[in-house]
Structures are given as C-alpha cells and as structure tokens.
C-alpha cells in the first residue's frame, strides 16, 4: 500500500507537465544563454512581450562597476531595488517593451572570473579599473 494519496493519478499528472508554469514552452521562453565574448558577456534571451530574440552585451568595464554594487555612470543600466539586481536601461527594438534581464553584483563577479578563465580579460585589468574607480589614494 502506498502512502501517496495521488498514486492512482500521478502518472497522468506527470504526463501533463506544469501547464503555464513550466514545460518546454516556458523553459524556451525563460531561458537565457550567456557567453563570454571579447567585449564582455553576451546574453541571448526572448522579449517577455513580443517573444523576439534579443542580445544584450555587458562590457567588461560595466561588469566591473556593477560587481561593486554600483551603477555604471553611462546610464546603460538601472537598479531594480525590489529584486536586488541591475537591468539594462533599454527596450526591445521591436515592441519597445523594457528588457528584463536582471544581473546581480555576484553574477557580475562570476562573469569576470569566467572572462579571466577564458583569457578575455586579465586580473590586472580588473584591478586597474577598480583602482581608477576608487580614485587616487592619499
């Protein structure tokens, strides 16, 4: 005897998937493919509104700044205090809806480590940029 009260229908539920909360369609819609490129980290995602494919590239300098929990001065990103992340200050070129790609400071740090491992940026370049951000020492 099974302790599972849904044992008689579990196989049917498993075949149905998760409806609008999951399954291949939701995985396809919500997936973000990120890769290290020469200029920084490139993320490929679908627009939440129109579903078109978008590519957002965060340059190394911006990733370094955001890894410190600070917004880049060029207004290319905005802070989402509710979710504790940075969002591109950009809209979908097709439907003009805002691009919802949240990146946390910790993720920026991991992207920088990946960039170092891939030989796209050096630890010395990162440290040099951080030194410029903090200004001259007295």
Query: How large is the average pLDDT for residues 37-56?
Result: 95
**Could you tell me the pLDDT band of residue 26, with boundaries at 50, 70 and 90?**
very low
Query: How large is the average pLDDT for residues 76-101?
Result: 94
Q: What are phi and psi of 51, to 5 degrees?
A: 80, 0
**Could you tell me the pLDDT band of residue 134, with boundaries at 50, 70 and 90?**
confident
Tokens 């995985």 sit at which residue?
27
pTM: 0.76
Number of Cβ atoms within 10 Å of the Cβ of 34: 17
Tell me how far apart the alpha carbons of residues 45 and 51 are, in angstroms, rounded to a whole number.
9
Give the helix ranges, DSSP H, for the chain: 10-16, 24-30, 60-67, 105-117, 123-134
Query: How large is the average pLDDT for residues 3-24?
Result: 56
pLDDT digits (tens, 9 = 90+) for 102-116: 999 999 999 999 999
* Maximum CA extent, the chain: 75
pLDDT of residue 42: 97
Number of Cβ atoms within 10 Å of the Cβ of 67: 21
Domain ranges of the chain: 30-133
């Amino acid at each position: 005897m099974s302790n599972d009260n849904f044992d008689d229908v579990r196989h049917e539920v498993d075949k149905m998937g998760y409806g609008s909360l999951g399954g291949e369609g939701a995985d396809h819609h919500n997936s973000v493919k990120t890769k290290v490129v020469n200029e920084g980290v490139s993320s490929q995602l679908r627009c939440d509104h129109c579903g078109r494919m978008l590519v957002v590239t965060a340059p190394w300098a911006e990733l370094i700044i955001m890894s410190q929990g600070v917004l880049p001065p060029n207004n290319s990103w905005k802070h989402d205090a509710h979710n504790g992340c940075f969002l591109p200050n950009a809209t979908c070129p097709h439907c003009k809806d805002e691009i919802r790609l949240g990146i946390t400071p910790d993720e920026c740090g991991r992207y920088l480590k990946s960039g170092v491992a891939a030989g796209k940026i050096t630890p010395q370049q990162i440290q040099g940029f951080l030194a410029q951000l903090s200004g001259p020492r007295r």
